[in-house]
Structure 1
Amino acid sequence: MTGSKRREELINTIKSSTSPISGKTLAQLYDVSRQVIVQDIALLRTAGYDIISTNRGYILNAPHAITRVFKVSHTDAQTEDELYSIVDLGGTVVNVMVNHRVYGHMEAPLGISSRLKVKAFIDDIKNGKSSPLKNITSNYHYHTVEADSEKTLDLIEKTLEEKGYLITEV
């Protein structure tokens, strides 16, 4: 088993456990030394996982949010509705991305997680501070959306599809 595969399984084991798991137990489970587990834990922490070492073993402090990338298209007038649709269902619009034929991949962080942040974003656009990135690709763009569960992301996807914003690749 490769190191990256082991770390993937390791985080899933810790995540699904209802009690702390000792380094010794993890080492036996993955047939490696305890030191390898310590190094894997350090790498997982670097990757953003909040793993806590207790006197009884390792636990994951908080579950990682789940993300999904949606390809969407809509008019400028529909931007507000698109963003409200996502945040009202519990999603956070992490970023916006476009793939321009000349300039390549372009991405901007958004961090829109509430109606208040949607309103501030829309106000900035309306006040001429900038124009939406989607305008350079004939309205086609991508959003990384973060949520607490796959169920929430499924609901967001269904809503975007029903409103005609979601582009499904063939």
Structure 2
Amino acid sequence: MKQKKEKRRSAVERRKSIMERLRKAADPIKGNDLADEMQVSRQVIVQDISLLKAEGKQIIATSQGYLLLQKVQSNTIKKIVACNHTISETEDELTRIVTCGVTVLNVTVEHPLYGEITRSLMIRNRSDVHKFVENLEKTGASLLSSLTDGVHLHELEADASEKIENAVAALKQAGYLL
């Protein structure tokens, strides 16, 4: 007996479903996972995300997948740090930060032609660091900081200033701060 094919959702229904999944998710969701769930191609998901962003939805693409930015708690502290290190020191740098209970929100480089280039990272713990480094090795991609001989900025966030201070001290001890 043939299985009844599930009716494909309309584009509007699909985007509502994507938003609902992102609202409920504590961690980023990969585009391929959304595509499988919605029974569409990853390219359709990329287009849906672009349309949702154009509507003003606060969706960011991280190295781990898509994430909906929730309202930031007013008790979080943010700090931008300037760093410089080699690609082989990336894992150590990120681990030093997250071990202090600090989230690495993004990375920014100053490009001579394009100006500031910022990409979301949302690296919160050692597992996120491991996934990031694993993806870096698997893809063979270059870090943004390779455009600037290792110089880059990170925006850090924590729920206490002591955590930020500890992360900065750990980076300074390793010689990663500019």
Do Structure 1 and Structure 2 share a fold, with TM-score over 0.5? yes
Q: Give TM-score, length-normalised by structure 2.
A: 0.58
| Poorly superposed stretches of 4+, deviation over 4 Å | none
After superposition, give the CA deviation of every residue in 1:95-135 in whole Å (9 maximum; x if it has no partner). 00001112211000000001111011001110125221100
Counterpart AA for 2:85: H
Q: Shift of residue 64 of structure 1?
A: 2.8
Q: Give TM-score, length-normalised by structure 1.
A: 0.61
When the two chains are superposed, the root-mean-square deviation of aligned CA atoms in Å is: 1.3
After superposition, give the CA deviation of every residue in 1:123-169 in whole Å (9 maximum; x if it has no partner). 111012522110001100000010111111111111101110011xx
How many positions carry a matched residue from both structures?
108
Q: What is aligned with 1:109?
A: 120
> Whose radius of gyration is greater, 1 or 2?
1
Q: Shift of residue 63 of structure 1?
A: 4.1
Counterpart AA for 2:100: L
Q: What is aligned with 2:144?
A: 133
Separation of aligned partners in 2, 1:78 and 1:130? 16
Unaligned runs of 5+ in 1: 1-47, 50-61
Aligned sequence identity (%): 33
Separation of aligned partners in 2, 1:117 and 1:123? 10
Q: What is aligned with 2:77?
A: 66
The answer to whether structure 1 residue 164 and structure 2 residue 175 are counterparts is yes
